[in-house]
Amino acid sequence: MKKTDWLRLWLHVPWWLLAVGLFIFNPLLGATACLMELGYEVMNDLGKGDKSYRDILGIVWGILIGGYILLILGIKV
């Protein structure tokens, strides 16, 4: 991956950490936020062709990092 791809990846991670945090307090709202962001990225790629599909990697990393934080802290959802 290029440097710009890594920057783009890390730009999306904080939003997904927030979505994981939101999932703790309201699973339906957290899941809705996740699906809405994924839909946005897909539609953005189809509309502009700016390779927004690469942003989904940032989404995956954010969810995984958030999940591991929950696991380490022992928080049950």
Q: What is the pLDDT of residue 47?
A: 73
Q: Where are the domains of the chain?
A: 3-73
Q: Count of H helices and E strands in the chain?
A: 3, 0
Q: What does pTM read for this prediction?
A: 0.67
Q: What is the pLDDT of residue 77?
A: 65
CA–CA separation, 29 and 4 (whole Å): 31
Average pLDDT, 10 consecutive residues per value, the chain (77 residues)? 81 80 86 84 78 78 83 80
CA–CA separation, 11 and 3 (whole Å): 12
CA distances, 48 to each of 10, 25, 32, 42, 51 (Å) = 21, 34, 24, 10, 8
Question: Residue 63: exposed, middle, or buried by beta-carbon count in 10 A (0-12, 13-18, 19+)?
Answer: middle
